[in-house]
Structure formats: structure tokens, C-alpha cells
């Protein structure tokens, strides 16, 4: 077997505690979303043993889920990106390495979150007591943000949690004031500004589809990776969009989504945005 059922949740297993964290998240997600789960092990020593153990763990966590194991050869990054074409979601652990080291050495979670065709969830290390605020999503109010909002609303609805929708503005005010490392709860630009109206317009269409999701809109000055990165540990899930890798500049410099994944202290979902309307 080297293919998966379309719409499956795929989780990478390598026998580490970081992969175990991802497996726990993926199994619970598959149960919530009533989707099959594929446990994938790539190029590991004793790959079959590692995969079998992860398979048993998944079956114990979510006995109602259809779980299958898959061992493959190749570069894990390429294998998972290939599987993402049929997957509903890719779930990965993260070792929580510092930003510089991870950028120099590269990592499976960073590479896959930048290149996958489907959303990628990276389960970052976090303190157990830091949770409970629900789902937070960063958007820019454009049409490209709609798939990101859809994913965030769906996750909040599945969990019965609230959703905080954030638009981060970096302008001359933020630059002069040195507004970095701000928390979402620290500042808000007020409910009547243009950015708030844009956010309200963006989420308006989701109210009927997800009537039980309590929505909070926030607009703040700062840098997106600062606001949504290391300052959001109290949220259960951070959702960000990923611009298409359609220019050399983006390939070289990476993306805001990559920076959030590198710095977050909670679980991060990276959702591909469509290329329509972008340079």
C-alpha cells in the first residue's frame, strides 16, 4: 500500500515523544471529524515496529476511527507532500527548536507546512496548563483568507469552542511606537475602524453555517508572527494562511506562516491560500 483514501487525516510517526503528541491530536481530530486516520512512518530504523506501535496507540486513543498504518521510503518531506494531494489534513510533531537553528537545518514540519496541498497541523510543545481560549485565526480580510476562515470556523465548531479572528496591522504607528511582542488581548484599534468593518464583512457569511461558534473580532498593531507566534500559548489552536510559493522572493525569505510555526507555543494549523488575485 502506497496510497491513501481521499479525505484521510495523515499523521507522521517516528517513535519520538513529539510524534506521539501529534498522534494524540490526530486521533482525536479523526474521531471528531469522522475521518479515517493514516499513520505514516518514513525512512525510520525499525520502521515497521515504530509504525505498529503508533498504530496501536491510535487505536487505543480513538477505537471508533478507521486507522491504517503505512511505511514508506524516501525523503519524509517529499513523501508527506505527495500524500497531501489526497489528504484532508497532515499532522506533524515539532521538536520546538529555536528559530535560527531550524532555519539553518530545515525541518520536516517547516518544509511540509510550506509545500503541502492540504492544511498542515504542527503540534508544538506547550505547557499543559496553558489552554482553554479556543481557536484563534489571523486573516487579512481579502478573498484569499476565506479558506483560512472556513478551516478555523470548522475547528471551533467541532470542539464547541470560541473563535477569535485577528487582523494585524503593521504601519507607521506601529513602527514609531515599537509595537512588537504584543498580545492579542493587549490592544485593539476600536470597533468602528475600517479594519474592523473589513473583518466583520469577512466573517458575516459564516454565521449561518456555524451558528453556535462565538466569534470575537480583534484588530491590533504589530507584526503577524509576533502577535500570533509566541504570544498565543493560551489558545488551543492557532490558524494561519500560507501564501502561494509563486515568487522567488517567497521561496528565499519564507512566509509569515513559517515564522508562526517556528515560534508558536501551541498547536498551529497552516492553511494554503489560493493564488487568485496575487502577483
In a domain, 278, yes or no: no
**Same domain flag for 93 and 148:** no
In a domain, 279, yes or no: no
CA–CA separation, 186 and 193 (whole Å): 17
Residue with more model confidence, 175 or 111: 111
Q: How many C-beta atoms surround the C-beta of residue 162 within 10 A?
A: 15
For all residues of the chain together, what is the average pLDDT? Answer: 83
**Same domain flag for 267 and 139:** yes
Burial class (CB in 10 A: 0-12, 13-18, 19+), 6: exposed
Per the structure, the complete domain to which residue 93 belongs is given by 9-123
Instruction: Tell me how many domains the chain contains.
Output: 2
**Same domain flag for 100 and 41:** yes
In a domain, 87, yes or no: yes
pLDDT at 77: 92
**Same domain flag for 143 and 249:** yes
pLDDT at 245: 65
pLDDT tens, position by position, 112-158: 999 999 999 999 887 665 668 999 999 988 888 899 999 999 999 99
pLDDT tens, position by position, 239-279: 999 987 654 434 433 478 888 888 888 999 999 988 755 44
Burial class (CB in 10 A: 0-12, 13-18, 19+), 220: buried
pLDDT tens, position by position, 86-115: 999 999 998 644 444 333 334 788 889 999
Looking up residue 175, the CATH number of its domain turns out to be 3.40.50.12370
**Same domain flag for 117 and 142:** no
Q: Quote the cell numbers at residue 257.
A: 506562516
pLDDT at 105: 36
254 — alpha (psi -120 to 50), left (phi > 0) or beta? left
Enter the pTM of the model: 0.86
Q: Quote the cell numbers at residue 192.
A: 468602528
**pLDDT > 90: what percent of the chain?**
51
Amino acid at each position: 500500500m502506497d496510497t491513501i483514501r481521499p479525505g484521510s487525516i495523515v499523521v507522521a510517526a517516528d517513535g519520538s515523544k513529539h510524534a506521539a503528541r501529534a498522534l494524540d491530536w490526530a486521533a482525536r481530530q479523526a474521531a471528531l471529524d469522522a475521518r479515517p486516520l493514516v499513520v505514516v512512518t518514513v525512512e525510520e530504523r525499525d520502521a515497521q515496529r515504530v509504525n505498529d506501535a503508533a498504530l496501536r496507540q491510535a487505536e487505543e486513543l480513538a477505537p471508533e476511527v478507521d486507522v491504517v498504518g503505512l511505511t514508506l521510503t524516501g525523503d519524509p518531506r517529499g513523501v508527506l507532500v505527495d500524500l497531501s494531494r489526497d489528504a484532508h489534513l497532515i499532522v506533524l510533531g515539532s521538536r520546538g527548536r529555536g528559530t535560527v537553528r531550524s532555519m539553518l537545518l530545515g525541518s520536516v514540519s517547516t518544509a511540509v507546512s510550506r509545500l503541502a496541498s492540504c492544511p498542515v497541523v504542527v503540534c508544538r510543545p506547550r505547557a499543559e496548563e496553558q489552554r482553554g481560549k479556543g481557536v484563534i485565526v489571523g486573516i487579512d480580510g481579502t478573498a484569499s483568507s476565506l479558506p483560512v476562515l472556513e478551516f478555523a470556523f470548522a475547528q471551533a465548531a467541532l470542539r464547541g469552542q470560541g473563535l477569535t479572528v485577528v487582523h494585524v496591522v503593521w504601519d507607521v504607528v506601529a513602527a514609531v511606537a515599537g509595537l512588537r511582542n504584543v498580545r492579542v488581548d493587549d490592544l485593539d484599534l476600536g470597533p468602528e475602524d475600517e479594519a474592523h468593518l473589513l473583518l466583520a464583512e469577512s466573517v458575516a457569511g459564516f454565521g449561518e453555517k456555524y451558528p453556535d461558534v462565538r466569534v470575537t473580532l480583534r484588530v491590533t498593531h504589530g507584526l503577524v508572527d509576533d502577535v500570533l507566534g509566541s504570544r498565543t500559548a493560551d489558545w488551543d489552536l492557532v490558524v494561519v494562511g500560507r501564501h502561494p510559493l509563486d515568487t522567488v522572493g517567497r521561496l528565499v525569505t519564507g512566509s509569515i506562516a513559517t515564522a508562526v510555526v517556528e515560534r508558536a507555543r501551541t498547536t498551529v494549523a497552516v492553511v494554503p491560500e489560493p493564488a487568485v488575485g496575487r502577483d
